[in-house]
Amino acid sequence: MNYQAFIWDFDGTLFDSYPHIAAALEAALDAAGTPYTHEEAMAALVVHFQKARERYGMSDAQYEDFTARQRNPALRPLIEPFPGTADVLRAICEAGGRNFLYTHRGASSGAYLRAWGLAKYFAGSVDATMHFPSKPAPDAVQYILSNYGIRAEDAVMIGDREIDVLAGINAGTAGCLFVSHPVARGTAAQHTAADMCSLARALGVELPPPPDALCAQIRAEAAEAARALCAAARLRAGDLVAVGCSSSEMAGEKIGSDSSPILAEAALEGLASVFAPAGIGIAAQCCEHLNRALVVERAFAAGYERVNAMPMPKAGGGFAYAAFKRFSDPVLVRHVRADAGLDIGGTLIGMHLKEVAVPLRLPVRTVGAAPLAAARVRAPFVGGERALYDADLL
C-alpha cells in the first residue's frame, strides 16, 4: 500500500448519503413552496449544508425541517455504503494499515458503521461531538496523527469535498478526492477516484476479486427453489412465503458472522423473479436481534401486528435489509401465518408458518453454500375414520 493510515470522511465517501440528504432538502423546499432543481440542490449540498441554506434562503424553521427529515434513517433513498466499501476497509486492515473516521456528523456515523458491520475496521474516529474546528482546518487530522503515532507522510485524507482534502493537506497528509457524484470542481488532491475500485488502485490497496460468479449462482439457485416451491406447495396469487436467509451461510461462513448484502440481494432477486410475476408475497425474516420480525409489502400486512424497527445488515440481517430496500412499500410485522416457507442456511422459520407445516424436499438442496429447507402447509384434518377429505387440500 502507498499509505499506512487512511482517514475517511463519512457522507459521500464511505456512505452514499447525498441522495438521502437531497431528498430531505427537496421535501423541505417543497413544503416551503421554494423552487429548485435536483442538480443545483445536490451541488449546494456537496459544498456544505449551510451553502444549501444560503442558496434557498431557508428560514430557521425551514432549515430545522430539512435537518429533521434527513435524520430519519427510513427516508428513501436509504443511506448505505458505496459498493466495495467493506472490501477496501477489510483489505487495508489485512495488509497492516489502519482506518480512521473524520466526519462533521455526530453519533449517527458510528451507528451506521455498527449497523453495517464496518466499525471493526476502524482504529479511531473524530466526529462532531469532539468539537474540533470544521474542515478545512487541520486540527482534527493533527489530533489523529498525534494520538495514534502516525507520520503525516504515511497518511491520506479521503473525502468527497475539497474541504475534506484540504483538512488533510493542511495537516501535511496526502489527499484523495472521492468524486462520488458528478459535480464540477477542481482539487488540490494528489489522488482522485470515482468508485471504490479506482480508489483502491490509486492508493495501492489490493482487493479480492468480486463475487460475481457466486452472485449469479445464488440468483439462479434461489429462482429454481422458488419455482419448485410454487409447484410443490401449489401456491397462488395472494399467498405468502416466509423466507429466512443467512448471507453468511451462503458464503460458506457461520450464520451471523459475515453478513453480505450483495449475496442477500442476489438471493432476493432470484426469489422475486419467480414470486413477483405470480403475485406471491415474500415475508423476509429478520434475525433474532429483531426478534425474527418480518419485512413484507404493505399489501400483505393486513391483519398482522406492525412493529417499529429498520432492518440493517448487522441488526436484522442482510436479507431483511435487502427486502426493506427493494420492496416498494415495506413494513415490519411481528408475525405472519405463511402458506409456505424457504429456509436458506438454518434460520428457523417454522414460527411463521400456518398449521399444519409439511416438510418438502426440493430438487435444489443448497443456495450458495447454505443448506436449503422448505415447507408447505395443509389445512388441518378434522373428523375421524368416517370423514372424507378434499384431495385438493391434502
CB burial readout 118-140, b (16+ within 10 A) else e: bbebbeebbbeeeebeebbebeb
Residues 79, 20: contact at Cβ < 8 Å? yes
Residue 183: predicted pLDDT: 61
For residue 181, is pLDDT > 80?
no
Phi-psi region of 87 (alpha: psi -120 to 50; beta: other; left: phi over 0): alpha
Q: Write out the three cell numbers for 237.
A: 396469487
pTM to 2 decimals? 0.90
Residue 184: predicted pLDDT: 55
Residue 268: predicted pLDDT: 98
pLDDT class for 185, splitting at 50, 70, 90? Answer: low
pLDDT in tens, 59-118: 999 999 999 999 999 999 999 999 999 999 999 999 999 999 999 999 999 999 999 999
Report which of residues 170 and 385 the model is more confident about.
170
Which of 366, 318, 374, 331 shows the shortest CA–CA distance to 349? 374
Largest CA distance in the chain: 89
For residue 353, is pLDDT > 90?
yes
Helix (H, G, I), strand (E, B) or coil at 330: strand
For residue 228, is pLDDT > 70?
yes
Which of 242, 225, 229, 177 shows the shortest CA–CA distance to 368? 225
CA distance 224 to 227: 5
CA distance 182 to 388: 69
CA distance 269 to 275: 10
Q: What is the CA radius of gyration of the chain?
A: 24
| Domain spans, the chain | 5-14+79-203, 18-70, 212-377
Report which of residues 237 and 186 the model is more confident about.
237
Which of 326, 259, 316 shows the shortest CA–CA distance to 286? 316
pLDDT in tens, 315-334: 999 999 999 999 999 999 99
* Torsion sign, CA atoms 45, 50, 53, 57: negative
Percent of the chain with pLDDT over 70: 99
Contacts of 259 (CB under 8 A, 6+ apart): 117, 247, 248, 313, 314, 317, 318
Domain 5-14+79-203 has CATH 3.40.50.1000: yes
* Torsion sign, CA atoms 122, 128, 130, 133: positive
CATH topology classification for 212-377: Rossmann fold (3.40.50)
pLDDT class for 308, splitting at 50, 70, 90? Answer: very high
Which of 35, 32, 63, 31 shows the shortest CA–CA distance to 49? 63
The residues facing 341 across adjacent strands are 242, 375
Pair type for strands 174-178 and 191-193: parallel
CA distance 309 to 329: 15
pLDDT in tens, 124-170: 999 999 999 999 999 999 999 999 999 999 999 999 999 999 999 99
Between the alpha carbon of residue 151 and those of residues 11, 96, 144, 147, the distances in Å are 26, 15, 10, 11
For residue 217, is pLDDT > 70?
yes
pLDDT in tens, 235-281: 999 999 999 999 999 999 999 888 899 999 999 999 999 999 999 99
pLDDT in tens, 24-54: 999 999 999 999 999 999 888 887 888 899 9
